């Protein structure tokens, strides 16, 4: 199954902090609570388009 590289974007400052690979046929967008080094706190990160 082919995989694509996607970015996680902070909801508060909109910086692209994390990357990961996911299957190309997966329609669900990833949402994780991760540490944002720019904000200095844990925020919700969503998969970018």
What's the full length of the chain, in residues? 49
> pLDDT tens digits, the chain, 49 residues: what are they?
799 999 999 999 999 999 999 998 889 999 999 999 999 999 999 999 7
pLDDT at 26: 87
* pLDDT for the residue numbered 49: 77
H or E element: which one contains 45?
A: strand 41-47
What would the DSSP string read from start to end of 3-39?
A: EEEEEEEETTT--EEEEEEEETT--SPPEEEEEETTT
How many CA atoms lie less than 13 Å away from 13 in the CB half-sphere? 12
Domains belonging to the chain, first-starting first, are: 3-47 (2.20.28.120)
């Amino acid at each position: 199954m082919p995989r694509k590289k996607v970015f996680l974007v902070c909801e508060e400052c909109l910086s692209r902090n994390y990357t990961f690979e996911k299957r190309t046929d997966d329609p669900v967008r990833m949402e994780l609570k991760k540490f944002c080094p720019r904000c200095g706190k844990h925020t919700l990160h969503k998969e970018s388009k």
